[in-house]
Amino acid sequence: MHRIRMCATALTLTAVAAGAVACAGPVTAPGTGAAPLVAPAASATPMAEPYGDCADVPTTELGNRPLVAALAAVPRLAALSAALGRLPALAGALDAAPALTVFAPTDAAFEALRGRLGAPEFDALMGDAERLDGLLSYHVTEKRLDARGLVEAGKTTQLAWGDVTVADTPEMLTLASTDEGTAGVVCGNVQSANATVFLVDAVLTPATPTAPPAP
């Protein structure tokens, strides 16, 4: 049984390029070994309708598809789908999870990251399963929220190390990573069978945590 993995070291843009990322094994509960994902309590409020630039998103067809298949059906998410294809354990865990919120970088967002890193470093990242696992996991939270729920929460804890801060209004969401990078939502409240997906215009990267002081 696949389980979501937690990245032990967060990813700054510099760390992504340098390979300074280490991922631990599956998330575990103290003293119990590996713990499967636990479904949150069902919400009494139905998810809001998709909004934004969703013309190429087959929103009415995705509700019965698990997350990875739903992402693959969106033309603008080809790069994300290809990255997940290199990580079968993560992809399987995401499909098996009962309730997720996913910030899905568009192809243009990945191209912008390539421009910032440079082609050799970007290609190295895409080819490094451990670093790529951490980067993609930073775009997923283990709770299903629509745009209004994100604004009310104000912050989400990601599967990779760190949080994402949510600002502005449900119709004009801005996401901020811990390295102070931002992403805007271009199409939101897209429903798959087990996730609410927000297409975003930038790849989010978390800041490197500060080392604890020496005893």
User: Concatenated DSSP letters for 15-71?
Assistant: HHHHT---EEEE-EETTTEE----PPPPPSSPPPPPEES-TT--GGGSTTS-HHHHH
Query: What b/e sequence results for 134-150 when a residue is b if at least 16 CB atoms lie within 10 Å of its CB, and e otherwise?
Result: bbbbbbbbbbbbbbbbb
Element (H or E) spanning 183, and its range?
A: strand 182-191
Question: pLDDT tens digits, residue range 8-26?
Answer: 334 444 444 444 444 433 3
Task: Name the token pair of 42.
Answer: 């069902």
Q: What contacts 68, CB < 8 A, 6 or more positions away?
A: 81, 84, 91, 94, 95
One-letter amino acid of 108: A
The whole-number pLDDT of residue 208 equals 62
Task: Name the token pair of 113.
Answer: 């990251």
Q: What's the predicted TM-score (pTM) here?
A: 0.80
Whole-angstrom distance, CA of residue 203 vs CA of residue 116: 11
Query: What b/e sequence results for 43-80 when a residue is b if at least 16 CB atoms lie within 10 Å of its CB, and e otherwise?
Result: eeeebeebbbebeebebeebeebbbbebbbebebbebb
Provide φ and ψ at 82, rounded to 5°: -65, -40
Task: Name the token pair of 212.
Answer: 């604890």
Please state, in angstroms and as integers, the Cα–Cα distance from residue 45 to each residue in 24, 80, 145, following that order.
Answer: 35, 29, 10
Whole-angstrom distance, CA of residue 88 vs CA of residue 97: 14
Provide φ and ψ at 212, rounded to 5°: -65, 150
| Domains along the chain with CATH numbers | 5-200 (2.30.180.10)
The whole-number pLDDT of residue 32 equals 29
- Give the residues across from 191 on adjacent strands: 196
Which residues of the chain are modeled with pLDDT < 70?
Answer: 1-47, 208-215
The whole-number pLDDT of residue 160 equals 85
Instruction: Give 158's DSSP letter.
Output: B
